[in-house]
Amino acid sequence: MISLKHVSKWYDRFQVLSDCTTEVKKGEVVVVCGPSGSGKSTLIKAVNGLEPIQEGTILVDGIAVNDPKTNLAQLRARVGMVFQHFELFPHLSIIENLTLAQVKVLNRSKSEAEKKGLALLDRVGLSSHAHKFPSQLSGGQQQRVAIARALCMDPIAMLFDEPTSALDPEMINEVLDVMVELAYEGMTMMVVTHEMGFAKKVAHRILFMDEGRIVEDTNKDDFFNNPQSERAKDFLAKILH
Ligand SMILES: Nc1ncnc2c1ncn2[C@@H]1O[C@H](COP(=O)(O)OP(=O)(O)OP(=O)(O)O)[C@@H](O)[C@H]1O
Ligand SMILES: [Mg+2]
């Protein structure tokens, strides 16, 4: 579903991604972790073309993301992305947030879009909040709306960049629960997170990044029980204590 081959990227002379090669198969959940500044956000943003790359190729469902002929707006409509900050439109109600792109990008009728929006709002446990505004919801609730909004577009894959790291601790689980459910339903997911409990529960593979490189790309059990690199060992020792 997602394939990266020899991807490199520079900011001026600073190399932020170095020769990154990996793939995410349909239905696979891949967790990306690593120290701050290692390039995790840059890698995941490159997957839906939010960050251009200078070398290598990225294919999403066979579409070359870094081909100038590719319609990135169309690609992004099919790949859901959820960031650390919820980025809902503050001046639109929750249901309007959920329907806007469905109508504008997918040309759905307003009533069809609302039906879908309400169904997904129900799925994240927020159906009674449809007519509120984002500022009237908690951070965890807003993040669940952001996930529902992405799902309204019938994405072929979902990308998450630290979706729980800006949340108060008591709200983290309500968001992770939604993500766990998605994973169990077979959604293809690439998730940057330091929530190792989530990784242990649903990840098929772990990518560990350091200084712009994918240092480990292994199945979950090998990563947790038998990390190969010193850097991953250090990282795990810090994060698990
Ligand atoms: N627009 C930019 N211009 C220059 N350098 C940048 C830019 N964005 C990111 N960087 C640098 O690229 C490196 C990787 O950044 P990135 O945000 O991908 O790291 P990360 O692994 O997501 O870190 P964190 O865990 O803190 O979110 C960092 O050294 C960062 O300072
Ligand atoms: Mg980041």
Q: What is the CATH number of the domain that holds 221?
A: 3.40.50.300
Which structural domain, as residue segments, surrounds residue 36?
Answer: 2-88+155-240
Cβ neighbours for 164, distance < 8 A, ≥ 6 positions apart? 143, 171, 172, 175, 176, 193, 195
pLDDT digits (tens, 9 = 90+) for 22-35: 999 999 999 999 99
pLDDT digits (tens, 9 = 90+) for 173-219: 999 999 999 999 999 999 999 999 999 999 999 999 999 999 999 99
**Could you tell me if residue 191 is inside a domain?**
yes
Question: How would you list the strands of the sheet with 2-11, edge to edge?
Answer: 14-24, 2-11, 55-60, 63-64
Residue 73: pLDDT band with limits 50, 70, 90: confident
Q: Please give the helix or strand (H or E) that residue 238 lies within, else none.
A: helix 230-239
**Could you tell me if residue 43 is inside a domain?**
yes
Q: Which residues line ligand 1 (CB under 6 A)?
A: 11, 14, 16, 34, 36-42
Residue 240 has pLDDT above 80, yes or no: no
**Could you tell me if residue 189 is inside a domain?**
yes
Give dist(CA 241, CA 239) in Å, integer: 6
In this prediction, residue 76 carries a pLDDT of 87
C-alpha closest to that of 202 among 1, 28, 17: 28
pLDDT digits (tens, 9 = 90+) for 120-136: 999 999 999 999 999 99
Which residue has a Cα nearest atom 5 of ligand 1?
11
Cβ neighbours for 162, distance < 8 A, ≥ 6 positions apart? 41, 83, 84, 192, 193, 194
Count of structural domains, the chain: 1
Summarize the confidence of residues 3-7 as an average pLDDT. 97
Which residue has a Cα nearest atom 28 of ligand 1?
37
Identify which ligand lies nearest to the alpha carbon of 12: 1
Summarize the confidence of residues 65-88 as an average pLDDT. 89
Kindly give the distance from the C-alpha atom of residue 58 to the centroid of ligand 2, in angstroms, as a whole number.
Answer: 19
**Could you tell me if residue 122 is inside a domain?**
no
